[in-house]
A and B are shown apart, each in its own frame.
Chain A
Amino acid sequence: MSAPARLRPRSSPFVWLRRNLFATPFDAVLTVSLTVLIAWGLWSALQWAVIDATWVGDSRAACEARDGACWAIVTARWRQVVAGFYPEGHLWRVAAAGVCLAMAVSPVVVRKGWSFALAPLGVVGAFAFLGGGGLLPRVPTEYWGGVFLNFLIGISGAVFALPLGILLALGRRSHLPVIKTLSVGFIEIVRGAPLITLLFMASVVLPLFTPTGVSLDKLTRALVVITLFESAYMAESIRGGLQAVPKGQSEAARALGLDPWRTTALIVLPQALRVAIPAIVNTFIGLFKDTTLVYVIALLDVTGVMRQALADYSWQGLEAEAYVFIALVFWITCFAISRWSARLERAGGRLKEAR
């Protein structure tokens, strides 16, 4: 499409309007009606969310004077929205854990072999800072929450799921029938089940499987389930990558005398992972959005915290503000990630063409 465009004469704004908005009578009608609709929609949204909104206050009563949104429900509980019920004096640990999580996702940006070691390190670091022990006093997981909990679950779930997904993807290609059947069975069962049923399992069934008296805490159980869930999807993304690696690569490696394990680890996997990164990132976006579901098992992520605010007498009836706020948080994050991933994909495409 871009090649013929270059042949056309340089366009003036008028030509652009003509071509893009009023090419045919139908287009003109479409343009006009859409303009009216969009303008009206944007204006009412702006009026509600910004112009007539109340930004601060201690309770719903502070918002009654104005018609617009009551953002006070978010600002008054800002700390809970971000970090849940984490003790006030220890908030720096949340910040430190945030840095660790950033480190954990850095390999996707750096994309060097050594950087992949940062991922598990970052996640372990985040849990160490948050959970405490040793020098830092322990903070039980019931106090973790807010937007931070969504990031923690999303990122650590992905980091744990990736190696598992690689194993499953390789298992699916294995020549050993037992391993292949187990891998395929696991992937299909997990992909066939809605996450919500798996979370119910984490909350009511998993405690049955540990000896009486030993209780895994709920966040751990949820993480185990989310990791397993995610690994099945990761496996499918990686399988796509594996299929994209030409057979000649592994044949050449064999010819050079590498054994099958090394061929996979040194030649096939690195190429497959590079191809699979956009798919993995997309899987991650899906998982990250799904972390809002943990509120159904009473973990206080951002949805849980907002719903709890709605259960406080002072904030009852502000459902719209609560949900629009959550949607906004996720929209910003996921939109940014998806844009970046699309750029990555295009860059990869260009690379392939250039070769």
Chain B
Amino acid sequence: MAVLVLTAWWMGHNAEVNMQTRGVASGFDFLDRPAGFDITQALVPYEPTDTHRRVFLVGALNTLLVAALGIAAATGLGLLAGVLRVSRNYLARTAATAYVELARNTPLPVQILVWYNLMLVAPPPKDALGIDGLIFLTNRGLYLPKPVFNAEGGTALAAGGAAVVVGALLASWLKRRRTFTGHAPSPRWGWALAVAGVVAALVVTGNPTGFDLPHLEGWGFTGGVSLAPALTALWAALSFYTGGFIAEVVRGGLNAVSPGQGEAARSLGLDEGQALSLVVLPQAMRVIVPPLASQYLNLTKNSSLAVIIGYPDLVAVFAGTSLNQTGQAIETLALVMAFYLVISLSISAFMNWWNSRSAVWAVSR
């Protein structure tokens, strides 16, 4: 114990002396100094005259964006591959296995570089691939239509959102009643209500939505939403890589459900898909969720590899450009690590909550 404390003190002392003799500033004052560099993708308004504090925010949001996109795609891909791995179709099984082994056994940095260079193989804007007027793939990114709202848009959005929330609550209440009492209207009524609400909101406000379509103009495409090649490549690589791991998690979960369950469901007249989605998967979820959560955490951490291809995530802009500009390595790296630590702790907290919940559920059955 004493040794630990002494070592820490000694290292701190060294750092102090070193930084002083090398004229390196310390402390967090730099956060309020102007950054002076531009960031290519910012979800909140950002100018080069903004502070390093703002850079942190922009970087953190970019990290969260690619992590959220990646989690969604990786879950879908992993679920598909995991289910296919236990499929009865030999080819599908083999293809899924090949995918899983390829994704899991090659280094992610290399996968990112490969995807990035694949993106560059896409044609330049003047001969873009895509469906005219809707979606374009070029080596400058992926362009999609962007929904736009006019003055009433806010009202419509709020009303539609409220309808979805109410519908979802109703659906889950109906589902619970159905489970416990055995007779209640189908939960689908809740979802129907949500859809009806959204449509009604649109009609009443006079359909204020429209789409801003990407089109070729000037230097390239304008309009619409564009995903830069770096983001698209990082998204693809993270989803491809993590999808392989999630597939294994899903397969493990499906194997943990006794085969009798699926057979019983089928003998009750459910078809293959229904047996899977209504009987087997819900039971598998208990086994799947904890490792799944840690895969989500890994994906979020791995998004820091963005620095390799210049996607402006937290590590690239804050522990990269900001660090280079200010030279304050200890402070920038500590802040970045604290950010990831908060995410990691939130996910562990969620996992603990889920574990205790599913444990209670298992007991109360």
A residues at B contact (CB < 8 Å): 1, 19-21, 23, 27, 30-31, 34-35, 38, 178, 188-189, 191-197, 200-201, 204-205, 207-212, 285, 289-290, 292-293, 296, 303, 319-320, 323-324, 326-327, 330-331, 334-335, 338
Contacts and interface: CB of A to CB of B under 8 A. Distances in A.
A60 B249 CA distance: 43
A21 B87 CA distance: 10
B131 to A, nearest CB: 21
A20 B90 contact: yes
Given A20-B90, A197-B333, A197-B337, 6 more contacts: A38-B95, A194-B301, A197-B304, A197-B315, A334-B105, A338-B105
B106 A334 contact: yes
Nearest to A324: B114
Given A303-B110, A327-B106, A188 B14 contact: no
B301 A193 contact: yes
Given A194-B315, A209-B15, A327 B1 contact: no
A289 B108 contact: yes
A184 to B, nearest CB: 11
Contacts of A324: 114
Interface stretch (B214-222, B276-284, B343-351): B343-351
Contacts of B88: 19-20, 23, 27
Interface in B94-152: 95, 101-102, 104-111, 113-114, 117
Contact of B91 (A35, A201, A208, A338): A35
B336 interface: yes
B72 interface: no
Contact of A335 (B105, B108, B109): B105
Contact of A330 (B11, B19, B91, B105): B105
B158 interface: no
A289 B102 CA distance: 13
B307 interface: yes
Given A197-B315, A205-B330, A319-B113, A34 B91 contact: yes
A243 to B, nearest CB: 14
Nearest to A332: B105
> What are the nearest 7 A-B pairs in CB distance?
A192-B344, A20-B90, A334-B105, A194-B304, A192-B341, A209-B11, A289-B107
Given A188-B341, A188-B345, A334 B104 contact: yes
Contact of B107 (A191, A209, A292, A320): A292
B1 to A, nearest CB: 7
28 contacts: A20-B90, A23-B88, A188-B341, A189-B337, A191-B344, A192-B344, A192-B345, A196-B304, A197-B315, A201-B333, A204-B333, A205-B333, A207-B18, A208-B329, A209-B11, A211-B14, A211-B18, A212-B18, A212-B21, A292-B107, A296-B308, A319-B113, A319-B117, A320-B117, A327-B114, A331-B101, A331-B102, A335-B105
Contact of A193 (B18, B90, B95, B341): B341
A349 B17 CA distance: 56
B321 interface: no
A87 B276 CA distance: 60
Contacts of A331: 101-102, 105-106
A208 B343 contact: no
B110 A327 contact: yes
A28 to B, nearest CB: 9
A30 B111 CA distance: 27
B329 A205 contact: yes
B110 A292 contact: yes
Nearest to A34: B91
A330 to B, nearest CB: 5
Contacts of B101: 331, 335, 338
A290 B241 CA distance: 13
B319 interface: yes
Contacts of A205: 329-330, 333
Nearest to A289: B107
A175 B14 CA distance: 34
B92 interface: yes
B355 interface: no
B259 A194 contact: no
Contacts of A35: 91
A194 B17 CA distance: 29
Contacts of A193: 301, 337, 340-341
Contacts of B304: 194, 196-197
A27 B107 contact: no
B89 interface: yes
Contacts of B89: 20-21, 23, 27, 30-31
A205 B337 CA distance: 13
B305 interface: yes
Interface string B8-43: 000100110111010000000000000000000000
B330 A208 contact: yes
Contacts of A320: 114, 117
Contacts of B107: 289-290, 292, 303, 326-327, 330
Nearest to B19: A208
A30 B89 CA distance: 8
A191 B14 CA distance: 27
B290 to A, nearest CB: 12
B315 A196 contact: yes
B1 A178 contact: yes
B365 to A, nearest CB: 24
A164 B89 CA distance: 46
Most buried by B among A19, A194, A207: A194
Nearest to B121: A320
Nearest to A325: B110
Contacts of A195: 301
Contacts of A293: 109, 305
Contacts of A178: 1
A293 B110 CA distance: 9
Contacts of B341: 188-189, 192-193
A288 to B, nearest CB: 9
Contacts of B329: 200-201, 204-205, 208
Nearest to A339: B101
Nearest to B12: A209
